[in-house]
């Protein structure tokens, strides 16, 4: 079953997080456990499922650039966007 997650991090951390997620693989939930670079992340969900992600705006700095992306199977190549 194909799944997706939703990860928020500094844009500069996106690729290193994805590289480590690839190493973690499906067995590791496509994300390193307790990765300090990850500001917030959902669990992996499949088609028809839903999840919720709540973050405090105060956890983001106006001087940084942030992205959201999916780390499952390198989906971040196309499943990504900017947070402004």
In this prediction, residue 1 has a pLDDT band, given cuts at 50, 70 and 90, of low
pLDDT at 2: 76
Rounded Cα–Cα distance for residues 40 and 38 (Å): 6
pLDDT at 61: 96
Q: The domain spanning residue 62 has which CATH number?
A: 2.60.40.420
Summarize the confidence of residues 11-24 as an average pLDDT: 98
Domain holding 60, by residue range, is 3-83
**Residue 40 · residue 68 · CB < 8 Å:** no
**Residue 9 · residue 32 · CB < 8 Å:** no
Summarize the confidence of residues 37-61 as an average pLDDT: 95
Summarize the confidence of residues 58-69 as an average pLDDT: 96
Count of structural domains within the chain: 1
State the pTM of this model.
0.93
Query: Which is more confident, 32 or 2?
Result: 32
In this prediction, residue 84 has a pLDDT band, given cuts at 50, 70 and 90, of confident
């Amino acid at each position: 079953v194909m799944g997706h997650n939703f990860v928020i991090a500094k844009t500069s951390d996106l690729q290193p997080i994805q590289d480590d997620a690839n190493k973690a693989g499906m067995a590791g939930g496509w994300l390193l456990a307790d990765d300090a670079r990850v500001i917030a992340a959902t669990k992996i969900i499949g088609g028809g499922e839903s999840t919720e992600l709540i973050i405090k705006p105060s956890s983001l700095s106006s001087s940084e650039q942030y992205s959201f992306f999916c780390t499952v199977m390198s989906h971040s190549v196309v499943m990504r966007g900017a947070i402004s």
